């Protein structure tokens, strides 16, 4: 048995395949109907839509085969994706690649195979639409044309699925933004208006005016922070491909962030510490990473009355793990599960009565997930919190 070679563009091919979100999904009528038609036209007992993953072939639709997947090493389809054309094996026992393949010598006793690659618009071969028989045979011209046509229909179904997922994502973004704007943007602006209308210049002494202006400044600051978060989020969601990776020196990035927050930290007597290794780099989206770390740092400053805030990180297999650690008030065990859910979004005043919309952390988590990473929160009430984020390296 000869195992199929790995395509030169394997990493990109697998990325394209996973973008469609079709692996490990349940059978669907649209795909089942296509292979039923293929079996009928080619007069064979076995047909399938096979998607070639890193170490297996997943059956999106199948007739005449058990299970949901099988090993890539023995898959005929792994050979078929090495070419753009239909691969036809008239008798597997006479083919040097397959004569001793267990799929030939054992069940399902393959003798005939014809597989048409599923080529997406970018030219990546995701798998095949194939037909199989347990006796030698040869397709006629009409049957070959039918397999070519049906394979294109499979890819069109994948593209339609991708478009529907994108529409659902955009709808979800719109609903979240409307929720935030209607509640969290309107709220501070209404409060600010009421506060300013309350001032009567002819009856207000200097101290009272000072207190009102301090409150007004906080409302404006909170509203501005929220709008900046929303704009950054909207900008990121509109990017083609989701992000723009580049080689980022993390020591430089975190040093700039800490300098931007020095004034706030000094007012509260908090020491800012940069423990990011000098050599640490990641092939990551710089704007997205800056947004996330800025939000985590802002949260740490908000909920720390004194002590220190430390930024650090380390290289991990395939990416970097960064952290923001504070000596603040911590988060209760009851509140911790609520932090990363839109439906449970809530706000808490900081140690100096700083306000917030409860949005920054949620947006940060979404950015991290889109970067193939994750966000973990470790916290002890009255002792402090550590936010750890994993970002996987991305190809430019």
User: Exposed/middle/buried for 229, CB within 10 Å: 0-12, 13-18, 19+?
Assistant: buried
364 and 243, same structural domain?
A: yes
Same domain, 104 and 247: no
- Residue 323 CA to residue 184 CA, distance in Å, equals 28
Q: Of the candidates 35, 86, 24, 23, which has an alpha carbon nearest to the alpha carbon of residue 61?
A: 35
Confidence (pLDDT) at 294: 85
Residue 355 lies in a domain: yes
Bridge partners of 247, per DSSP, are 283
238 plus 380 within the same structural domain = yes
Residue 163, SS3 per DSSP:
helix
Predicted pLDDT of residue 49: 97
Among residues 136, 164, 192, which one ends one of the domains? Answer: 164
Examine residue 273 and state whether it is found in any structural domain, yes or no: yes
* Whether residues 242 and 388 fall in one domain: yes
Domain that holds residue 92: 10-164
Q: Are residues 149 and 237 in the same domain?
A: no
How many structural domains compose the chain? 2
Indicate whether 197 belongs to any domain. Answer: no
Q: Are residues 48 and 128 in the same domain?
A: yes
Instruction: Examine the fold and report which residue of 109, 136, 164 is the final residue of a domain before the chain moves on.
Output: 164
Number of residues assigned to the chain: 396
How many CB atoms lie under 10 A from the CB of residue 118?
27
Residue 253 lies in a domain: yes
DSSP string, 269-338: TEEEEE---TT-EEEEEHHHHHHHHHHHHHHHHHT-SSEEEEEEEEEETTEEEEEEEE-S----TTTGGG
Give pLDDT, residue 353.
54
Evaluate whether residue 200 is within a structural domain: no
Within-domain flag for 152? yes
Structural tokens at position 363? 């947006």
CATH of the domain at 21: 3.30.450.40
Q: Are 241 and 344 within one domain? A: yes
Residue 179 phi/psi, 5-degree rounding, is -65, -45
Q: Is residue 215 part of a domain?
A: no
Q: Is residue 190 part of a domain?
A: no
The pLDDT value given to residue 357: 43
Single out the residue in 130, 145, 164 at which a domain terminates.
Answer: 164
Are residues 141 and 266 located together in one domain of the fold? no
pLDDT in tens, the chain (396 residues): 899 999 999 999 999 999 999 999 999 999 999 999 999 999 999 999 999 999 999 999 999 999 999 999 999 999 999 999 999 999 999 999 999 999 999 999 999 999 999 999 999 999 999 999 999 999 999 999 999 999 999 999 999 998 888 777 766 766 666 565 555 555 556 556 555 555 555 555 667 666 666 666 655 665 665 566 566 656 655 554 456 788 999 999 999 889 878 878 888 899 999 999 999 999 988 878 888 898 899 889 988 999 999 999 999 998 999 999 999 988 888 888 777 665 555 556 556 555 444 566 777 787 788 778 888 999 998 899 999 999 988 775
CATH classification at residue 256:
3.30.565.10
Say yes or no: 19 and 112 in one domain. Answer: yes
């Amino acid at each position: 048995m000869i195992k199929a070679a790995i395509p030169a563009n394997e990493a990109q091919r697998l990325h394209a395949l996973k973008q469609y979100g079709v692996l490990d999904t349940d059978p669907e009528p649209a795909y089942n109907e296509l292979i039923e038609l293929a079996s009928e036209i080619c007069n064979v007992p076995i047909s399938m839509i096979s998607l070639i993953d890193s170490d297996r072939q997943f059956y999106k639709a199948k007739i005449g085969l058990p299970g949901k997947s099988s090993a890539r090493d023995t898959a005929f389809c792994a050979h078929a994706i090495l070419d753009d054309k239909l691969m036809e094996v008239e008798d597997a026992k006479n083919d040097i690649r397959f004569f001793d393949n267990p799929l030939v010598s054992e069940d399902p006793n393959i003798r005939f195979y014809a597989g048409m690659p599923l080529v997406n618009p970018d030219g990546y071969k995701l798998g095949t639409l194939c037909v199989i028989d347990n006796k030698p045979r040869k397709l006629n011209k009409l049957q070959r044309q039918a397999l070519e046509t049906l394979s294109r229909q499979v890819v069109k179904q994948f593209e339609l699925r991708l478009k529907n997922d994108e529409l659902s994502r955009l709808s979800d973004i719109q609903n979240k933004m409307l929720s935030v704007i209607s509640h969290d943007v309107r709220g501070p602006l209404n409060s600010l208006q009421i506060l300013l209308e309350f001032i009567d210049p002819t009856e207000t002494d200097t101290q009272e005016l000072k207190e009102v202006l301090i409150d007004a400044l906080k409302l404006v600051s909170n509203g501005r922070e929220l709008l900046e978060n929303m704009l950054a989020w909207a900008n990121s969601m509109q990017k083609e491909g989701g992000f723009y990776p580049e080689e980022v020196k993390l020591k430089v990035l975190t040093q700039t962030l800490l300098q931007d927050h020095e004034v706030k930290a000094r007012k509260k007597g908090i020491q800012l510490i940069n423990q990011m290794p000098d050599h640490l780099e990641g092939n990551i989206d710089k704007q997205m990473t800056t947004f996330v770390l800025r939000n985590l740092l802002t949260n740490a400053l908000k909920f720390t009355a004194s002590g220190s805030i430390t930024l650090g990180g380390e290289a991990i297999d395939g990416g970097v793990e960064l952290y923001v650690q504070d000596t603040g008030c911590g988060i209760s065990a009851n509140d911790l599960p609520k932090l990363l859910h839109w439906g449970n979004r809530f706000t808490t005043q900081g140690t100096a009565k700083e306000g917030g919309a409860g949005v920054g952390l949620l947006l940060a988590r979404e950015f991290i997930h889109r970067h193939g990473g994750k966000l973990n929160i470790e916290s002890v009430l009255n002792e402090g919190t550590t936010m750890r984020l994993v970002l996987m390296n991305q190809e430019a």
